[in-house]
Copies of this chain bind each other. A is one copy, B any other.
Amino acid sequence: MPDADDALVVFTPSGRRGRFPVGTPVLEAARALGVDIDSVCGGRGLCGRCQVDLCEGRFSKHGVESWPDHLTAKSPTEQAWETRRGPLRDGRRLSCSTQLLGDAVIDVPSSSQVHRQIVRKRAEVLDIELDPIVRLYYVEVQEPDMHVPASDLRRLKDALAYDWNLVELENDIRVVQQLQAALRQGGWGVTVAVYDDRRIIGVWSGFQEQIYGMAVDVGSTTIAAHLCNLQTGVVVASSGRMNPQIRFGEDLMSRVSYIMMNPGGELAMTRSVRDALNELTVELAAEADVHVDAILEATFVGNPIMQSLVFGINPVELGGAPFALATDEAIDGLWATEMDLVIHPSARVYGLPCIAGHVGADTAGMILSETPYLGEELMLLVDVGTNAEIVLGNRHRLLACSSPTGPAFEGAQISGGQRAASGAIERVRIDPLTLEPRYKVIGCEQWSDEAGFEEGVAPYGVTGICGSGIIEVIAEMYLAGIISQDGVVQGGLSSRSGRVVAEGRTFSYVLHRDDSRTLAITQNDIRAIQLAKAALYAGIRLLMEQFGTERVDRIRLAGAFGAHIDVKYAMILGLIPDCDLDYVTSAGNAAGTGARIALLSRKARREIEEVVRRVEKIETATEPRFQEHFVSAMAIPHKSDPFPLLREHVSLPLGVPAEHHARRTSRRRRAPSSLSP
């Protein structure tokens, strides 16, 4: 062990280094060097967040020999911590309770960094810094003295200024109401929650370990929520439930109509969604074994109507032109009590901003999650629901619109359509020679032509076709020549296959038939999908035209539809424009991810608030070109767009008028479409 008065310490990964007197606590040295090490208790050995690793050995790179005896042995404080919390990992030390005795190389693991990274889903996007708006601080407050009559609050603030350099703090009245009891119960040690470095919003006696936040995506159909540890960023519980507003109307417009016809209906809907939120909260908290009072923040995304109802804003203006939003700002710093949420009474709520009357905070969440605004790459984001929200752009320019696709993609308006649940056909292949299908049903591992299928589907039966199944069956019907480019079922094939059957003046394709039901794709079903996909494609083309581009670099499909659909089939059917298939991927619940990012990062909030301000909103309803694009997009995949990149993977039938199609199909059957693996 060296006997110098000073010790040289090098911190990794930062590389910061400096000399300190022997006996200096490692945490103090780190702070002096500006090394990022977390601590809630202020170096009192309570929180265990300042853990570091000693790197043993000779480090010629640093000119340092670093050995275990260059640090003090485990202190009683560390031992007490281990008794309470379990043994420290081998080599780990509490940096607050460990002193330098000689030169040392000290590694700060990412779990001990305040500004650790939150991993975004797309690997190519920079991770964001964990920087929640609410943080905990432990302080020991001076006892009151009759001769120095500073109030308890003032002495608390003095301690926060001294220990944590938090100055000019404001505070909620509830903190004053609870402070005196907390100080005395905690033996003058309290943990406070500070909002945005400027306002004390909570106080607990003694040392409070953890606080949590909720990120909520309020969809028309389902409400999904994540409970996150605000100090680690980790999701500790996730859950979802139906949006109970469904009893007021299946889709958005029927809910708005309900309000128009039933004044005060908006209050009932707000109440019902908040009730559901509270049930969900209690459920999440129980799952994570967390008290609801430990939840200090909640963030919300939703389409404009859902977002309005959650925040108690009557959405009727969104039911008709000019679709004026009440606000296109973020809802910032709202008290949870104003929303009757059952979380901590001083918790705050953040609602991401809506962008336009049809483009909501869910789209803002998607943008925040996918960050098209950061790169040069031209990105297309699509979230398909009853309306499709479409965002196109890059760091130079960002466009957004909403397109009225209707509910066909979700299986509504389709004769055999159903929600994606056990018993629903989700995958389909059609043999172009025999026109026989094989398919896969949710809840069963086997395809319909594999052994064990019958047993597999027995519990549910084959009950309908979900959204992804409809896309696939129509695309396969097109590839097999059963429908023309114009979407007409070729009646001539009925002579060749019992699957093609007449139904009045049109024909259907029977996908499945058993004792209890027949699932057929009717001409009406195909028309419904054509209308929906034409609306989606027209919206996308409108944005591309406004942007001045004929191609996009990347397509991200958000939401449940995007997660389940096979993107090849979506492109074959012409839902989305031509693109290298490797760059067409699902974004998962991008809106919900955006809410989670906003929950964990103040910077992200300011970022999305700034970005949405420069999004150019395109109104499809009043844009004459939208109609032209719509008509051209009725054909499969499109009347005129050539889809060269898709054709590298898939042989598409030649575009021919419907009436000539029957003859040509025989030729095509000799050269069947081959799907890339």
Which residues of A are interface residues toward B (Cβ below 8 A)? Answer: 144-147, 149-154, 173, 176-177, 179-181, 311-314, 316-317, 321-329, 331, 334, 338, 354, 356-357, 617, 619, 621-622
Taken together as a complex, chains A and B put the C-alpha atoms of A177 and B267 apart, in Å, by 11
Residues of B within 8 A of A357 (CB): 146, 149
Taken together as a complex, chains A and B put the C-alpha atoms of A331 and B151 apart, in Å, by 13
- Check if A329 sits within 8 Å of B151, measured CB to CB: yes
A558 shortest CB reach to chain B, Å: 21
Task: Evaluate whether A177 and B144 lie within 8 angstroms (CB atoms) in the complex, with A151-B324, A153-B326, A329-B151 already known.
Answer: no
The one of B149, B177, B617 that contacts A325, using a Cβ cutoff of 8 Å? B149
- Check if A327 sits within 8 Å of B146, measured CB to CB: no
- Check if B622 sits within 8 Å of A146, measured CB to CB: yes
> Which chain B residue lies CB-closest to A144?
B324
Task: Evaluate whether A173 and B622 lie within 8 angstroms (CB atoms) in the complex, with A151-B325, A326-B179 already known.
Answer: no
> Which chain B residue lies CB-closest to A311?
B173
Taken together as a complex, chains A and B put the C-alpha atoms of A621 and B150 apart, in Å, by 17
> Which chain B residue lies CB-closest to A356?
B149
Residues of B within 8 A of A149 (CB): 322-325, 328, 356-357, 617, 619
> Which chain B residue lies CB-closest to A145?
B322
Task: Evaluate whether A314 and B356 lie within 8 angstroms (CB atoms) in the complex, with A144-B324, A147-B619, A151-B327 already known.
Answer: no
Taken together as a complex, chains A and B put the C-alpha atoms of A253 and B121 apart, in Å, by 62
Can you identify 22 A-B contacts, CB atoms within 8 angstroms? A144-B323, A146-B357, A146-B622, A147-B622, A149-B328, A149-B356, A149-B357, A151-B326, A151-B328, A151-B329, A151-B354, A152-B326, A153-B326, A154-B327, A154-B328, A173-B338, A176-B313, A177-B312, A177-B313, A177-B326, A179-B327, A180-B313
A620 shortest CB reach to chain B, Å: 11
- Check if A327 sits within 8 Å of B144, measured CB to CB: no
Taken together as a complex, chains A and B put the C-alpha atoms of A622 and B317 apart, in Å, by 67
- Check if B146 sits within 8 Å of A177, measured CB to CB: no
Taken together as a complex, chains A and B put the C-alpha atoms of A622 and B149 apart, in Å, by 12
A317 shortest CB reach to chain B, Å: 5
Residues of B within 8 A of A322 (CB): 144-146, 149
- Check if A176 sits within 8 Å of B622, measured CB to CB: no
Residues of B within 8 A of A338 (CB): 173
- Check if B323 sits within 8 Å of A146, measured CB to CB: yes
Residues of B within 8 A of A334 (CB): 173
Residues of B within 8 A of A316 (CB): 180
Residues of B within 8 A of A317 (CB): 152, 180
A482 shortest CB reach to chain B, Å: 41
Apart from A153-B328, A176-B311, 4 more pairs, CB < 8 Å: A173-B331, A173-B334, A180-B316, A180-B324
Residues of B within 8 A of A176 (CB): 311, 313, 326-327, 331
Residues of B within 8 A of A324 (CB): 144, 149, 151-152, 180
Task: Evaluate whether A329 and B153 lie within 8 angstroms (CB atoms) in the complex, with A146-B321, A173-B311, A322-B146 already known.
Answer: yes
Task: Evaluate whether A150 and B313 lie within 8 angstroms (CB atoms) in the complex, with A145-B322, A173-B334, A322-B145 already known.
Answer: no
Taken together as a complex, chains A and B put the C-alpha atoms of A617 and B598 apart, in Å, by 47
A159 shortest CB reach to chain B, Å: 14
A609 shortest CB reach to chain B, Å: 13
A-B pairs, 4 with minimum CB distance: A144-B324, A151-B325, A151-B328, A146-B322
Taken together as a complex, chains A and B put the C-alpha atoms of A662 and B147 apart, in Å, by 46
A30 shortest CB reach to chain B, Å: 34
Residues of B within 8 A of A147 (CB): 619, 622
> Which chain B residue lies CB-closest to A334?
B173
Residues of B within 8 A of A152 (CB): 317, 324-327
Taken together as a complex, chains A and B put the C-alpha atoms of A181 and B619 apart, in Å, by 24
Taken together as a complex, chains A and B put the C-alpha atoms of A491 and B383 apart, in Å, by 101
> Which chain B residue lies CB-closest to A181?
B314
A323 shortest CB reach to chain B, Å: 6
Taken together as a complex, chains A and B put the C-alpha atoms of A322 and B146 apart, in Å, by 5
The one of B145, B153, B621 that contacts A146, using a Cβ cutoff of 8 Å? B621
A93 shortest CB reach to chain B, Å: 39
A198 shortest CB reach to chain B, Å: 13
Task: Evaluate whether A153 and B327 lie within 8 angstroms (CB atoms) in the complex, with A180-B314, A322-B144 already known.
Answer: yes
> Which chain B residue lies CB-closest to A149?
B356
A311 shortest CB reach to chain B, Å: 6
Taken together as a complex, chains A and B put the C-alpha atoms of A179 and B308 apart, in Å, by 13
> Which chain B residue lies CB-closest to A179?
B326
Residues of B within 8 A of A150 (CB): 328
> Which chain B residue lies CB-closest to A622?
B146
Taken together as a complex, chains A and B put the C-alpha atoms of A507 and B473 apart, in Å, by 114
A555 shortest CB reach to chain B, Å: 25
A207 shortest CB reach to chain B, Å: 22
Taken together as a complex, chains A and B put the C-alpha atoms of A578 and B180 apart, in Å, by 42
Taken together as a complex, chains A and B put the C-alpha atoms of A173 and B328 apart, in Å, by 13
Residues of B within 8 A of A617 (CB): 149
> Which chain B residue lies CB-closest to A312?
B177
